[in-house]
Amino acid sequence: MSAPALHRDRDAERRVPGEPGIWLVVIGDLLIFGVLFGMFLHYRAEQPELFAASQRELTPAFGFVNTLVLLGSSLAVVAAVNAVRLGRSLAASRALLVAMLLGGTFVALKAVEWTTKAGDGLVPDTNDFFQQYYVFTGLHLLHVLVGLTALLFARRIAAAGARQRQDRALIQGAAVFWHLVDLLWLILFPLVYFVH
Amino acid sequence: MTWTAPAPPLDRDAYLRDVVLKHRVQQVGAWCGIGFVVLLFGGWGLLGNFIPMVPPSGTPEEVARIYSHHADLRRVGLLLGMVGIFLTIPFYFAISMQMRRSEPRTPVLAMLQFASGILVTVVLMIPMLLFLGGSFRPERTPELTQLVNELSYLMLILPWPPIIGQLVALSVATFADRRPRPVFPRWSAYMNLWIAVLLTPASLIVFFESGPFAWNGLLGFWIPAAVFGSWYPVMTWLVLRAAREEAEEARLLAPPAGEPVGDAARVPVAAGALR
C-alpha cells in the first residue's frame, strides 16, 4: 500500500493545518492573553518601582530552562506531525511521548518554582506583581495541562495508525494548540521576568 | 432505553403536524437562550443595578447604602432576572433534543448536558433569591447586608463546574457526530472547549477583594461573563439551524397519504426521525 504518498496528496488539499475550529481557539486565546498582557503593563506603569523590585525576586533560571523545555517539546511535536504524514506511526507515537515528557517537566519545574517562591513568603497576596505573576503563570499552566491532554489523545490516534484524513487533522489540531502554549510562554516569560 | 412511548398509528397529516409541533417547541426553547441573557443582564445587571458590581472591597456601610438606593427598582430587576434564569431550562432541553440526534443509541451525552444544565439553573436561581433577600430590608445591620451581598455575588459568578459538564458533553457529542450532515458544526466543539477554559478564572474571585481578579475585575468577572453571555446567542442560532434540518429530514420520511404508520418498531427509520 502506497499510503505515504496518498496521505501527502490529500493533506495538500486543505488550506489550514488541523481543522478550522482550532484556529478559533488560537485567535480567541491570543486576544484574551493580549488583553491580560496589556493589563500587566498597565499595572506596571502605575507602580514601576514595586514591579522592578518584585521582578528581581524571581529566579529567571526557572523560566529560562522551562523555555528550552517547551521549545524542545514543540520540536518533538513537529517531528510527530511529519512522521504521521509519512505514515510512520511508531515514530510519531514516540515523538509525542517525548513531547509529553517535556511538557510534564515544565509542570514539575513550575511546581518547584512556585513552592520555592511561596516558601520565601512571596504569595499572591504579597503585592500586585505577585498576584499577576501567579495568575498568569497559573492560567498558562492550565493551558499546558489542556495541551498535554490533547497530546495524549493525539498519541493514541497516531499509535492506531492515523489512516483517516480526519485523524491526521486531529493530530495537527493538537500540535497547533501545543505551539500556542509554547508561543504564549515565549511572550509571558520575558514580560514577567525581564521587561522593565 | 429511549425517550419515546409506543407510538399510536399515525397517518400522514398527524405525522406532519407532529413534525411542525416538535420544531416549534425547539424554536421556542432556542429563543429562550436569548431571553435568558437579556433578562439576566438587563434585569439583574442594568435595572437591578448590580452591574457595575457592588465592590467586594466596600465597607458594610457603603454596601448597605448602595442597597437602599432605588430599592424597588432593584427588586423589579431581580424578579426579571429570576424569570430569565428559568428560561435556561427549555433552552438546555432544546440543545439536548438536538444532541440526541447525533447519538444513534442511548443519548448519554444529551442527558449529561441537560442534567448539568439543571444544576446551572439552580445555582443561578439561588443567588437571584439571595440578592432579593439582601434587597428586602436594606436598613438592617450593615454587616448582614454585606454578608448576603458577598454570598449573592460569589454564588452567581463562581460555580463553573456544572457549566463545564454541559460544554464538555456538548463538544464530545459534536466531535463524535458522524452523520453526513452533522447536528452542530465541528468548529462549535472547539468554541465550547475554549469557553470552558475561559470560565475557570472565575475561581479567582474567592481570593481577592480588589483588582482584576476580584468579582468586579476583568478576569474575575468580565471575561468569564462575556464568554458565558455570548455562548447563548451562538447556541440559539445553532439550535434553530439544527432543528430546521431535523424537521426537513423528518418531512422526507413522512408516510404516504392514506397509509397509516403502524407501531414504532415496524418503521424504525421514521420513528427514529421523530424521537
Average of pLDDT values for B265-269? 46
Per-residue pLDDT tens digits for A30-61: 999 999 999 999 999 999 999 999 999 999 99
B-interface mutation test, from A31, A37, A137, A139, most B Cβ less than 10 A away: A139
pLDDT reading at B88 higher than 60: yes
Mean local confidence (pLDDT), B66-73 = 94
| pLDDT score of B223 more than 80 | yes
Candidates B175, B194, B200, B208, partner chain A, best to mutate (most A CBs within 10 A): B194
Helix residue ranges, H only, chain B? 12-39, 60-68, 71-86, 88-99, 108-136, 142-157, 161-176, 186-199, 223-252, 268-274
In angstroms and rounded to an integer, the radius of gyration of the C-alpha atoms of chain A is 19
**Range in A8-22, A32-46, B26-40, B212-226 with the lowest mean pLDDT:** A8-22
pLDDT value at position A110?
Answer: 96
For residue B52, is the peptide bond before it cis, meaning its omega torsion is within 30 degrees of 0? yes
ipTM score assigned to the predicted complex: 0.81
Q: Rg (Cα) of chain B, in Å, rounded? A: 22
Q: Is B189–A29 a contact, with Cβ atoms under 8 angstroms apart? A: no
pLDDT band at B7 (very low <50, low <70, confident <90, very high): low
Query: What average pLDDT does this structure show over B258-269?
Result: 54
Question: Quick check: B191 and A35 CB within 8 A?
Answer: no
State chain A's mean pLDDT as an integer. Answer: 89
pLDDT digits (tens, 9 = 90+) for B56-65: 999 999 999 9
Q: Does A142 touch chain B (CB under 8 A)?
A: yes
Pairwise CB contact (< 8 Å): B223 & A35: yes
* Range B91-100 average pLDDT: 98
Least confidently predicted of A26-30, A83-87, B257-261: B257-261
Predicted confidence band of residue A126 (pLDDT cuts 50, 70, 90): confident
Structure confidence at residue B4 (pLDDT): 61
Is residue B11 predicted with pLDDT exceeding 90? no
Label residue B268 by pLDDT band (50, 70, 90): very low
| C-alpha–C-alpha distance, residues A56 and A135, integer Å | 18
The answer on pLDDT for A14 being more than 80 is no
In chain A the domains, ranked by start, together with CATH numbers, are: 18-193 (1.20.120.80)
Q: Of the candidates B63, B213, B220, B68, which has an alpha carbon nearest to the alpha carbon of residue B149?
A: B63
Least confident range from A153-162, B119-128, B144-153, B155-164: namely A153-162
CB of A128 within 8 Å of any CB in chain B? Answer: yes
Q: Which residues contact A189 (CB under 8 A, 6 or more apart)?
A: A63, A64, A66, A67
- pLDDT band for position A196 (cuts 50, 70, 90): confident
Residues B58, B59, B62, B65, CA torsion sign: positive
C-alpha A161/C-alpha A190 separation (Å) is 39
Q: pLDDT grade, residue A9 (50/70/90)? A: very low
Residues in chain A, total: 196
What are the sequence ranges of the domains in chain B?
20-252
CA separation, residue B75 to residues A33, B201, B215, B225 (Å): 37, 29, 21, 22
Give the other-Cβ count within 10 Å of B193's Cβ: 25
Span B235-257, average pLDDT: 94
Confidence check: pLDDT of B47 > 90:
yes
Q: Quick one: average pLDDT of A1-30?
A: 69
B122 confidence band (pLDDT: 50, 70, 90): very high
Percent of chain A with pLDDT over 70: 92
pLDDT at B273 over 60: no
Mean pLDDT of chain B: 91
Rounded Cα gap, residues A80 and A158, in angstroms: 9
pLDDT for residue A86 = 92
Asked if the C-beta of B190 comes within 8 angstroms of chain A's C-beta atoms, the answer is yes
pLDDT of A79 reads 96
A12, pLDDT greater than 70: no
Kindly report, residue by residue over A172-181, the tens digit of the pLDDT: 999 999 999 9
Q: Is the dihedral of CA B170, B175, B179, B181 positive or negative?
A: positive
Cell of residue B207, nine digits? 481570593
The alpha carbon of residue B274 is apart from the nearest alpha carbon of chain A, in Å, by 30
Cell numbers placing B70: 432605588
Angle at Cα B192 formed by Cα B187 and Cα B193, nearest 5°? Answer: 100
| CA angle B140–B142–B148, rounded 5-degree value | 85
